[in-house]
Amino acid sequence: MNRTIAPKYTKAQSLDIEFPHKIELSNGISLYHLSEVQDDTVKLDIVWDAGSKYQEKPLVASFTNKLLLAGTTDLNAQQISEKFDFLGGYIAHDIDKDQAGVTLYGLNDKISDIFNVFNEAFADAVFPETEIEKLVEIKKNNYKVSQEKVSTLCHKEFNKHIFGTQTAYGRVAELKDFDNLNINDLKNYYQYYLNTKPVLFLVGKVSNQFIEQLNNWTKTIGQKKISLPNQAFIQKQGKVVIHKKDAIQSAIRIGKLLFTKTHPDYYKFQVLNTILGGYFGSRLMANIREDKGYTYGIGSGLSVLEDAGYFFVSTEVAKDVTDLTIKEIYNEIEKLQTQLVSDQELEKVKNYLLGEFLRQSDGPIAIMENYKNIYFNNLSENYYSDFIKAVHSVTPKQLQDIAIKHLNKNTMLEVVAGNV
Amino acid sequence: MITYQTFTLKNGLKVIHHHDKTTPMVVVNTIYNVGARDETPHKTGFAHLFEHLMFGGSKHIKNYDTPLQLAGGECNAFTNNDITNYYNTLPAQNLETALWLESDRMLELAFTQKSLDVQRQVVIEEFKQRYLNQPYGDVWLKFRPLIYKQHPYQWPTIGKNIDHIANATMQNVKAFFYKHYGPQNATLVIGGNVEFDTVKNLVQKWYNDIPSREKYIRNIPAEPKQTEERRLTIEREVPNNALYMAFRMGNRLTPEHYAGDLLSDILSGGKSSRLYLELVKNNPMFSNLSTFLTAGWEDGLFIISGHLLPNITFKKAEQAIWNQIRKLIEQSIDKTELTKVKNKFETAKAFQEQNLLNRVMNIAMYDQMGQLDEINNERQKYDLISANDLINFAKKTFVKTNVSILTIKAK
């Protein structure tokens, strides 16, 4: 046996992508259901267009979301939690800039009861003052702790300047905003939840009665449309420094406003990004971690929201090599613009990405996450198969063109937080 | 229910196959019976540094990652105080690529100076990023030596200090490899859409010629029973005062582990838990408060920790926790509360076992704990616990002569 010769491998086959079954509930509300589950677990997401971009005042969207199930006229937060817990139910409150909602986790013999508790708490949410005060206190504390981290300082500053502070995406909460919250803000925002259409995603073997139970619930929800916020993005270019006394590492974030998943260059850019900093074998990792040892980790990505997407490189490095690292990041970007990616490296990245598709669609919950991606980004059902085709067919020349077109150094925002 | 089949090679390597026909993937997981507990006090952090070096090329294969990525695979690893675990996830048809890579680094590493030089730096940056450049980041560096006077659990996996990592030599690396990384000291678990016969043939092909090395016999002195209360206060530039209490308890393999786990959930698992309701919510003294078990394989700790509200003194906060413990012991736990935490456990377990990688890692851990045949009895173990068991556990564990208390005073 010759150990120097690698065994033969085959490329991951393109997947037959499974789609959830769509069920129309009342009031034009849709339920997407995957029932092919091997065990008794059930996961239900209920998602509204109620993310932080719709708020008129900082923190209102997230506080409303977190306190949706924190008290009714008859039940206090403790009683509601006890009911969920006794049923073995887990509740997650999820919010990002675009969407907000609630996820219920449970076993199928209890999911109907768990949903009833949700319904009872949700329908008559009163946002008790004591709960608001408590959450303000906890979140203020978390805020203060996170302000001590260079990674947080850097990320926040980057967020402001990548979108512009006047836009809904670019606004960042400050400490004083916590004290300006009041119960009426939350009660008003709650009307979004009551009056606008959510979408439901269900993974699990459930009875027809449970589907009917969901249908009955949707009869209680209104059909209003909400107005979209102003999002005229203005990205800052050039360098921003946040000084953090005594920091022994600096956090670095470099990037630019780019595009969403429907842009014609999106697939090719994803391949390019993978080469640059999208996996363990990437050029940034190879150079800045595996060759120079400047950092524990470095990566790049394309972060896509509903109304915009941005490219970023992110790392934390030893204080003394902050400038050297920034220089190397630009060197790696420039190499992509001036030299063709070798066939060998491209082959590696393509195969890795195909394997990654398999990993990301393993199991019903993962498959539903893929579907949510299609749903929320308004993509076609061919999105994943098109992506796989595009990965297979992209050429070194196309990647170089994409790098020249989209990664011009002069268009970048560069944020450093540290003792610099 | 997790199903599996095992076989053992002549060189001592134990292999476990777990079949899952619903996935297109295979996970190849290698667990080595070595962790930070096997280090000497003046060379700490070495097991973890070594884990990094395992990706720096092996005897016949210059680069570990590239062939794996070509086969659509991804890998990672982690080290804790007890074990070191390596895992690869790749399309099932490419199983052999992972076995080729894993077997070659079990046979022998490349031992390049470049890899050692770079990974020392990488680990030092990891040390800074996780432990030094974060508020409260160095808690466990300070707390462990207060709790453990003899046992190697007195240092964290990252090591006692940066110098230990900076001073690691190639000679240390080689010695560590031959002492701990042989087939007799590992379990290989292969789970996913691959047949038993295929697994057996391929494992024999790639692992049969790896020589068995001397079996490492662990001889770690047990930490003596604690007989006095211990305290340490440190000052840091942090936003809030923080309190950490560590109570010695039975290790991961003892029945106490299960009692401690349920009791931890009763005290701080979610918004209907006792400490949350009493001390965060209703009579607020903490802005957050949590309990958890360290679940070490040689010795366990029950940890209670939280951040104090600005107007609350350490004395008052600590007293409040003792009062809650007294109340628990005096008033016991009713059936509803006990059923509640058991139901939550059942749901969490079902979701956790959905994931192939979790199942495979669990098999590896149970095997190395010497409890593989117990892997499907967890639920039963939790079910059998009574309120009385929990109260007895609390009475035995939560006593002043069994606690170490670390307070972090905000500067």
Looking up residue A211, the CATH number of its domain turns out to be 3.30.830.10
Tell me the residue range of the domain where B329 lies. Answer: 230-410
Q: B-chain residues within 8 Å CB-CB of A141?
A: 239-240, 287-288, 307
Q: Are residues B240 and B166 in the same domain?
A: no
Query: Residue A225: pLDDT above 80?
Result: no
Q: Are residues A333 and A388 in the same domain?
A: yes
**What is the distance between the alpha carbons of residues B160 and B156, in angstroms, rounded to a whole number?**
7
Query: Residue A213: pLDDT above 90?
Result: yes
Across the interface, whether the CB atoms of B347 and A352 are under 8 A apart is answered: no
**What is the distance between the alpha carbons of residues A75 and A89, in angstroms, rounded to a whole number?**
18
What the block records as the tokens of B168 is 């690691």
Tell me the residue range of the domain where A393 lies. Answer: 238-418
Q: Is residue B374 part of a domain?
A: yes
Count of alpha carbons within 13 Å of A288, Cβ hemisphere only? 33
Question: By mean pLDDT, which of A5-14, A47-56, B279-288 is the weakest?
Answer: A5-14
Query: Residue A14: pLDDT above 70?
Result: no
Which distant-in-sequence residues (6+ apart) come within 8 Å of B66 by Cβ?
A281, A348
Sign of CA dihedral B362, B367, B368, B374: positive
Closest A-chain CA to B269: A85
Strand, coil or helix: B407 = strand
Amino acid identity of residue B133, one-letter, is N
Q: Is residue B357 part of a domain?
A: yes
**What is the distance between the alpha carbons of residues B82 and B38, in angstroms, rounded to a whole number?**
8
Confidence band, pLDDT 50/70/90 cuts, at residue A313: very high
Q: Are residues A264 and A202 in the same domain?
A: no
User: What are the counts of helices (DSSP H) followed by strands (DSSP E) for chain B?
Assistant: 15, 11
What the block records as the tokens of B401 is 């002569």
Closest B-chain CA to A246: B133
Q: Are residues A115 and A176 in the same domain?
A: yes
* Last residue of one domain, picked from the residues A186, A218, A250: A218
pLDDT 10s digits, A110-134: 999 999 999 999 999 999 999 999 9
Distance of CA B387 to the CA centre of its chain: 28
- Write out residues 297-316 of A within 8 Å (CB-CB) of B: 316
Give mean pLDDT, residues A390-408.
Answer: 97
- Among B89, B94, B348, whose Cβ lies nearest the Cβ of A359? B89
* Last residue of one domain, picked from the residues B174, B207, B240: B207
Q: B-chain residues within 8 Å CB-CB of A150?
A: 133
Question: Which burial class, exposed, middle or buried, applies to A132 when counting CB atoms under 10 A from its CB (0-12, 13-18, 19+)?
Answer: buried
% of chain B residues with pLDDT over 90: 99
Q: Are residues B162 and B234 in the same domain?
A: no
Complex ipTM more than 0.90, yes or no: yes
Size of interface A-B (CB pairs under 8 A): 209
pLDDT 10s digits, A363-384: 899 999 999 999 999 999 899 9
Q: Is residue A3 part of a domain?
A: no
Q: Are residues B385 and B236 in the same domain?
A: yes
Q: Are B262 and B339 in contact (CB under 8 A)?
A: no
CATH number for the domain including B99?
Answer: 3.30.830.10
Say what the alpha-carbon torsion angle B161, B163, B165, B168 is, to the nearest 10 degrees.
-140
Strand, coil or helix: B212 = coil
Q: Which residues of chain B fall below pLDDT 50? A: none
Q: Are residues B184 and B242 in the same domain?
A: no
Q: What is the pLDDT of residue B86?
A: 98
Confidence band, pLDDT 50/70/90 cuts, at residue A229: confident
Q: Is residue A251 part of a domain?
A: yes
Q: Is residue B212 part of a domain?
A: no
Task: List, as one string, the DSSP characters of B43-81.
Answer: STTHHHHHHHHTTS-BSS-S-SHHHHHHTT-EEEEEE-S
**What is the distance between the alpha carbons of residues B403 and B246, in angstroms, rounded to a whole number?**
6
Query: Residue A12: pLDDT above 90?
Result: no
Tally of structural domains, chain B: 2
Q: Are residues B19 and B103 in the same domain?
A: yes
Phi, psi of A307 (to 5 degrees): -105, -5
Q: Are residues A44 and A184 in the same domain?
A: yes
Q: Is residue B225 part of a domain?
A: no
Q: Is residue A225 part of a domain?
A: no
Q: Is residue B48 part of a domain?
A: yes
Tally of structural domains, chain A: 2
Q: Are residues A214 and A338 in the same domain?
A: no
Q: Are residues B47 and B86 in the same domain?
A: yes
- Among A86, A295, A354, whose Cβ lies nearest the Cβ of B340? A86
Q: Is residue B129 part of a domain?
A: yes
- Among A81, A246, A355, whose Cβ lies nearest the Cβ of B271? A81
What the block records as the tokens of B375 is 């892997």
Q: Establish if A41 touches chain B: CB-CB under 8 angstroms.
A: yes
Q: Is residue B217 part of a domain?
A: no
Q: Is residue B218 part of a domain?
A: no
Mutant choice from B66, B128, B280 vs A, greatest count of A C-beta within 10 A: B128
Q: Is residue A5 part of a domain?
A: no
Query: Residue A29: pLDDT above 70?
Result: yes
- Among A90, A105, A362, whose Cβ lies nearest the Cβ of B23? A362
Q: Is residue A382 part of a domain?
A: yes
**What is the distance between the alpha carbons of residues B397 and B176, in angstroms, rounded to a whole number?**
37
Across the interface, whether the CB atoms of B239 and A294 are under 8 A apart is answered: no
Q: Is residue A335 part of a domain?
A: yes
Q: Establish if A128 touches chain B: CB-CB under 8 angstroms.
A: no
Q: Are residues B250 and B184 in the same domain?
A: no
* Last residue of one domain, picked from the residues B207, B240, B275: B207
pLDDT 10s digits, A136-189: 999 999 999 999 999 999 999 999 999 999 999 999 999 999 999 999 999 999
Mean pLDDT of chain A: 95
Query: Residue A361: pLDDT above 90?
Result: no
Across the interface, whether the CB atoms of A148 and B134 are under 8 A apart is answered: yes
Q: Are residues B239 and B340 in the same domain?
A: yes
Q: B-chain residues within 8 Å CB-CB of A315?
A: none
Q: Are residues A199 and A243 in the same domain?
A: no
Q: Establish if A120 touches chain B: CB-CB under 8 angstroms.
A: no
Q: Are residues B135 and B34 in the same domain?
A: yes
Closest B-chain CA to A88: B344
Q: Are residues A182 and A258 in the same domain?
A: no
E strand map for B221-367: 230-236, 242-249, 286-293, 300-308
Q: Are residues A180 and A83 in the same domain?
A: yes
* DSSP-derived pairing of the beta strands B403-410 and B230-236: parallel
Q: Establish if A92 touches chain B: CB-CB under 8 angstroms.
A: no
Q: Shortest Cα distance from A28 to chain B (angstroms)?
A: 31
Query: Residue A82: pLDDT above 80?
Result: yes
Q: Are residues B240 and B385 in the same domain?
A: yes
Q: Are residues A249 and A396 in the same domain?
A: yes
Confidence band, pLDDT 50/70/90 cuts, at residue A10: very high
Q: Is residue A338 part of a domain?
A: yes
Q: Establish if A93 touches chain B: CB-CB under 8 angstroms.
A: no
Q: Are A235 and A410 in contact (CB under 8 A)?
A: no
Q: Are residues A130 and A79 in the same domain?
A: yes
What the block records as the tokens of A13 is 């086959």
pLDDT 10s digits, A185-206: 999 999 999 999 999 999 999 9
Q: Is residue A233 part of a domain?
A: no
Q: Are residues A389 and A285 in the same domain?
A: yes
Q: Are residues A140 and A243 in the same domain?
A: no
Query: Residue A15: pLDDT above 70?
Result: no
Q: Are residues B129 and B261 in the same domain?
A: no
Q: Are residues B243 and B179 in the same domain?
A: no
**What is the distance between the alpha carbons of residues B325 and B267, in angstroms, rounded to a whole number?**
9
Q: Are A346 and A396 in contact (CB under 8 A)?
A: yes
